Amino acid sequence: MKEQVAELLGQAVDQLKAKGTIPGDHPVRIMVDNTRDKTHGDLASNLALTLAKPCGQKPRDLAEAIIESLPDNTLISKVEIAGPGFINFFLASDSVAEIVGDILEQGYDFGRNTSGQGEKVQVEFVSANPTGPLHVGHGRGAAVGDSLCRVMDANGWNVTREFYYNDAGAQINNLALSVQARVKGLTPDDPSWPEDGYRGEYIIDVANSYKAKDTIDADDQHVTGSGDPDDLEAIRHFAVAYLRREQDLDLKAFGVEFDVFFLESSLYTEGKVEATVQQLIDNGHTYEKDGALWLKTTEFGDDKDRVMRKKDGNYTYFLPDVAYHKDKFERGFKRVINEQGADHHSTVTRVRAGLQALNEGIPEGYPDYVLHQMVLVTKGGEEVKLSKRAGSYVTLRDLIDEVGRDATRYFLVSRRADSQLTFDIDLARSQSNDNPVYYIQYAHARICAVLGKASQDDLDNITTSGVAALGELELDDERELVTQLRRYPEVVQHAGQTLEPAVIATYLKELASIFHGYYNNHRILVDDPSVMMGRLALSAAIRQVLANGLDLLGVGAPEQM
RNA sequence: GCGCCCGUAGCUCAACCGGAUAGAGCACUCGCCUUCUAAGCGAGUGGUUGCAGGUUCAAGUCCUGCCGGGCGCGCCA
């Protein structure tokens, strides 16, 4: 709709350029905005304001000229000049109502677009190391990352969900030692407990399962415990598989699944780390100092150079990261988005610098990052810091068990990633109007209930006589509802462009709010068949958009509550 | 000290590429269930958008400097 109005304005500009009112060589950027105030019509353009100066005219005079040059059309019913020189467009009722027909016809596809043109995009998120249960921060990553994937998919991208983890480093060794200690019956208080060992109670479960020679099937790990307390290697494999499985179960309970699990160890075994190092050396971006090998990241915007190979011959963490992203690029992902906690933001510059130093034509801003800030969990007004199972942090499982999947996902995805989030457990679990999740779901369930009362015959005719009757809908709130529905595709697009799935949540809250108001003021199943059919069509369209939007958030759309 | 993010109503948050009178919910006050789900609706109260400059016809939004909070500044990951 915006595009169509912009198109009309474009034609008016061309005409005025031909007349000389607008300088022919002046670049014109046409902006059409939704209006905030309905007295300003449906859409507005600031075109006359931006062109006033180069044209040497008063904005309102120029607006007048632009309006006179607008081609004839059926889209717009009225145009006004307002304020300092805005051009306000009032859309014709018919063209507005059309959107309802579109929604009913397109169903699940309404709001989706093809702007991604089927290009491959990889979204890496969660990427927790298998050293313990997932915590709230991972939960935020999972909620934001998965929703982002859904949004990218809705914008026509071919999305791959990827989970990367370290299965072989010092931390994993530490994990193995901790499990081994538990297998041997030691406790964290014991003097011979491994230094910096993992102290959480979950380690006991891993140890017991290992001793019982259980078989573990995670998404990407399949191991049977040997039970041998002295076989550290066997313990390591088992512990990784065990915790991976636990994470998988949490993620499944959260409604999040991955296409690819990528092991850091494979970068070593397949020689990709070595190859990356060699390439960096060959390109002359490295030097030896103090027995270590350094990468000149300062050549690419870093504030100091970074060690890539330590004195002891091991690599620092960011080198495999560079090798990993080189691999992503070589796998054909021209676009990659990494969703991570903001506590790792210092890696952004390093990884990008490393990729530039490879000199392989990888674009400068590659990869994209979405960094989420910390999550603070509160209950009863107090900060919650500990969980029994993990010991030192609140687990994702705790939240899912306590407040439910939908509410947890909603709360974690509904705020912009770059601001800190307070997760109020009491609010999230309250089944009341305080809780936006239920507020939105309730709107969906209510419509389902109403449609359930309508006759099958009427429902069958909803797309024909229902849509045809939309002209009868003259109420302000009906008009407002249709306007909100019309904006949905823009919101999906906006979420995709800014990589901010949270805007979907905001939109749905607004749509639900307008609907609840409408529902309370007007009956849908009224005697007048024409009015009823129109309202049924409108309601069905709202239900569809609510369902589509909730789906992008990974939150369910219940038919009854 | 340096870098990144944030600062909007008492609280939690909105505000589309810079647009017109900064919006919701909670809390507080008062109303609405014999009618499709009251997990709902309506009305009222509540603001120098942290502070000070600058750019612009127009700034919560962009720029600079402060103040406050978070995170990061390792040959840890």
For residue range A273-282, list pLDDT tens digits in order.
Answer: 999 999 999 9
**Residue A295: Cβ within 10 Å count:** 27
The Cα–Cα gap between A501 and A495 comes to: 5
A12 and A101 together in one domain:
no
pLDDT at residue A441 in the model: 94
pLDDT at residue A432 in the model: 64
Q: Which nucleotide is nearest to A315 (CA to C1')?
A: B75
CA of A543 to C1' of B60 (A): 33
pLDDT at residue A92 in the model: 86
Asked if the structure places residue A127 within a domain, the reply is: no
Asked if the structure places residue A401 within a domain, the reply is: no
Sign of the CA dihedral running A471, A475, A481, A487: positive
The mean per-residue pLDDT over the stretch A436-451 comes to 94
> Measuring CA to CA, which residue among A150, A164, A151, A146 is closest to residue A408?
A146
The mean per-residue pLDDT over the stretch A478-493 comes to 92
CA of A36 to C1' of B11 (A): 26
Q: Is the pLDDT of residue A26 over 90?
A: no
Q: Which nucleotide is nearest to A453 (CA to C1')?
A: B36
Q: Is the pLDDT of residue A557 over 90?
A: yes
With distances taken from each CA to the C1' atom of nucleotide B20, the closest residue turns out to be: A83
Q: Is the pLDDT of residue A318 over 70?
A: yes
A104 and A193 together in one domain:
no
> Comparing A58-67, A388-397, A525-534, which segment has the lowest mean pLDDT?
A388-397
pLDDT at residue A378 in the model: 87
Q: Are A227 and A215 in contact (CB under 8 A)?
A: no
Residue where a domain stops, chosen among A227, A243, A258? A258
Which ranges of A43-135 would DSSP assign to H, the alpha helix?
47-55, 59-69, 93-106
Q: Is the pLDDT of residue A177 over 90?
A: yes
The mean per-residue pLDDT over the stretch A296-322 comes to 91
CA of A352 to C1' of B22 (A): 39
Asked if the structure places residue A340 within a domain, the reply is: no
The mean per-residue pLDDT over the stretch A392-402 comes to 90
pLDDT at residue A73 in the model: 87
Q: Is the pLDDT of residue A138 over 90?
A: yes
The mean per-residue pLDDT over the stretch A162-167 comes to 95
Confidence bin at A388 (pLDDT 50/70/90): confident
Pull the structure tokens for residue A295. Answer: 């990468």
A174 and A251 together in one domain:
yes
CA of A355 to C1' of B7 (A): 35
pLDDT at residue A486 in the model: 92
CA of A361 to C1' of B71 (A): 32
Q: Which nucleotide is nearest to A165 (CA to C1')?
A: B77
Compute the mean pLDDT over every residue in chain A, rounded to the nearest whole number.
Answer: 92
Residue where a domain stops, chosen among A231, A258, A285? A258
CATH code for the domain in which residue A517 is found: 1.10.730.10
Q: Are A112 and A496 in contact (CB under 8 A)?
A: no
Asked if the structure places residue A349 within a domain, the reply is: no
Q: Is the pLDDT of residue A434 over 80?
A: no
A101 and A200 together in one domain:
no
pLDDT at residue A95 in the model: 76
Q: Which nucleotide is nearest to A169 (CA to C1')?
A: B77
With distances taken from each CA to the C1' atom of nucleotide B77, the closest residue turns out to be: A317
**Rounded to whole angstroms, what are the CA distances from A52 to A20, A34, A347?**
14, 22, 46
pLDDT at residue A317 in the model: 87
Q: Which nucleotide is nearest to A29 (CA to C1')?
A: B17
Q: Are A276 and A322 in contact (CB under 8 A)?
A: yes
A134 vs A475, which has greater pLDDT? Answer: A134
A102 and A190 together in one domain:
no
The one-letter amino acid at A487 = R
With distances taken from each CA to the C1' atom of nucleotide B42, the closest residue turns out to be: A517
Asked if the structure places residue A153 within a domain, the reply is: no
The mean per-residue pLDDT over the stretch A409-432 comes to 87
A468 and A514 together in one domain:
yes
Q: Are A292 and A339 in contact (CB under 8 A)?
A: no
pLDDT at residue A203 in the model: 95
A174 and A109 together in one domain:
no
The mean per-residue pLDDT over the stretch A116-136 comes to 95
Q: Are A288 and A295 in contact (CB under 8 A)?
A: no
A24 and A111 together in one domain:
no
Residue range of the domain that includes A181: 170-258
The Cα–Cα gap between A207 and A261 comes to: 24
Q: Is the pLDDT of residue A218 over 90?
A: yes
A542 and A460 together in one domain:
yes
Confidence bin at A544 (pLDDT 50/70/90): very high
The Cα–Cα gap between A381 and A93 comes to: 49
pLDDT in tens, A334-375: 999 999 999 999 899 999 999 999 999 999 889 999 999 999
A439 and A543 together in one domain:
yes
The mean per-residue pLDDT over the stretch A522-537 comes to 92
pLDDT at residue A473 in the model: 74
The Cα–Cα gap between A422 and A403 comes to: 15
CA of A24 to C1' of B55 (A): 27
Residue where a domain stops, chosen among A211, A235, A258? A258
Q: Is the pLDDT of residue A433 over 70?
A: no
Asked if the structure places residue A533 within a domain, the reply is: yes
The mean per-residue pLDDT over the stretch A150-174 comes to 94
CATH code for the domain in which residue A33 is found: 3.30.1360.70
> Comparing A26-30, A108-112, A118-122, A193-197, which segment has the lowest mean pLDDT?
A26-30
The Cα–Cα gap between A489 and A502 comes to: 15
Q: Is the pLDDT of residue A522 over 80?
A: yes
> Comparing A19-28, A81-90, A336-345, which segment has the lowest mean pLDDT?
A19-28
Alpha carbons within 13 angstroms on the beta-carbon side of residue A90 total: 12
Residue A359, classed as helix, strand or coil, is coil
The Cα–Cα gap between A271 and A531 comes to: 70
Domain count, chain A: 3
A441 and A491 together in one domain:
yes
CA of A92 to C1' of B70 (A): 49
Asked if the structure places residue A129 within a domain, the reply is: no
Asked if the structure places residue A503 within a domain, the reply is: yes
Residue A465, classed as helix, strand or coil, is helix
A105 and A32 together in one domain:
no
Task: State which nucleotides on strand B lie below 7 Å from a protein beta carbon.
Answer: 2-7, 12-17, 19-21, 24-27, 32, 35-42, 57-58, 69-77
Q: What is the CA radius of gyration of chain A?
A: 29
Confidence bin at A74 (pLDDT 50/70/90): confident
